[in-house]
């Protein structure tokens, strides 16, 4: 099974070509903006280097968030467009899952794995995962949430855990980790497309019936004239 995996959800542009769970080739570049100009040329160059065309792919995997509004839309639009043109399925993987999947058994040592992503506005995107599931398909221990930093303690594991992601520094600075037993892992803050592809390989594409959609854990920052939130009362 050959998979093209994409991530543009946060502050990088990452592409990987997978054969089952093995990475054939990957490219990643730090990029807070300009994903649209970089993504498709990266895909084209990697497909050429691996002597593949889209008809040989079994599916496309793409990160669906949480993340930046523009970055998510670029990755999702590209994945959906390429999948439609090639007549193959596209599968969405969350950024929280992809980051959790980067933690090795030596690093978590059977401790719960918590991912905290800086969500701006004094919030973090937060989710904890069963460490035994990370080598295949991450199993959440709680729903993904956008949590105010001041309230985060109630959503963290009570037992010893490991922590990663761009929100870890914010939690430390706010003193929200005091009296907890934890270890912060020094791992990349942006998802690697190879982890997106590996999770997709384990889940498979057989049951995919709908194109991937973005995962929004809160309403967008955009407001109607007068500061009206178009999503208020609709959640």
Residue 80 has pLDDT above 90, yes or no: yes
Token code pair at residue 9:
């959800």
Residue 234 has pLDDT above 50, yes or no: no
Give me the mean pLDDT over the 137-153 stretch.
97
Exposed, middle or buried: residue 51 (CB in 10 Å: 0-12, 13-18, 19+)? Answer: exposed
Q: How far apart are CA 124 and CA 146, in angstroms?
A: 6
DSSP states of 2-56: EEEEEE-SSSEEEEEEEETTEEEEEEEEE-SS-HHHHHHHHHHHHHHHTT--GGG
Give 155's DSSP letter.
G
Cα–Cα distance list, 196 to 28, 182, 187 (Å): 13, 26, 16
Residue 231 has pLDDT above 80, yes or no: no
Exposed, middle or buried: residue 142 (CB in 10 Å: 0-12, 13-18, 19+)? Answer: middle
Give me the mean pLDDT over the 212-216 stretch.
95
> In angstroms, what is the C-alpha Rg of the chain?
18
pTM above 0.75, yes or no: yes
Q: Are the C-beta atoms of residues 7 and 192 closer than 8 Å to each other?
A: yes
pLDDT in tens, 154-177: 999 999 999 999 999 999 999 999
95's CB contacts (< 8 A; 6+ apart) are: 7, 9, 10, 63, 64, 65, 66, 67, 117, 125, 191
The helix/strand count (H/E) of the chain reads as 6, 10
């Amino acid at each position: 099974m050959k998979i093209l995996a994409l991530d543009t959800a946060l502050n990088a542009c990452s592409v990987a070509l997978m054969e089952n769970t093995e990475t054939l080739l990957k490219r990643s570049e730090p990029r807070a903006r300009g994903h649209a100009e970089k993504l498709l040329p990266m895909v084209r160059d990697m497909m050429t280097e691996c002597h593949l065309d889209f008809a040989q792919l079994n599916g496309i995997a793409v990160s669906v968030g949480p993340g930046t509004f523009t970055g998510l839309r670029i990755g999702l639009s590209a994945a959906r467009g390429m999948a439609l043109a090639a007549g193959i399925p596209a599968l969405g993987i969350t950024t929280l899952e992809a980051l959790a999947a980067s933690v090795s058994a030596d690093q978590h040592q059977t401790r719960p794995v918590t991912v905290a992503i800086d969500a701006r506005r004094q919030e973090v995107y937060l989710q904890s995962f069963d460490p035994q599931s990370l080598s295949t398909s991450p199993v959440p221990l709680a729903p993904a949430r956008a949590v105010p930093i001041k309230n985060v303690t109630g959503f963290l594991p009570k037992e010893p855990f490991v922590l990663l992601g761009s929100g870890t520094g914010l939690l430390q600075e706010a003193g929200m980790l005091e009296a907890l037993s934890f270890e912060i892992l020094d791992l990349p803050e942006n998802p690697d497309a190879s982890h997106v592809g590996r999770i997709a390989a384990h889940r498979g594409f057989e049951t995919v019936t709908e194109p991937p959609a973005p995962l929004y854990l809160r309403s967008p920052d955009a407001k109607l004239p007068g500061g009206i939130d178009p999503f208020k009362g609709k959640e």
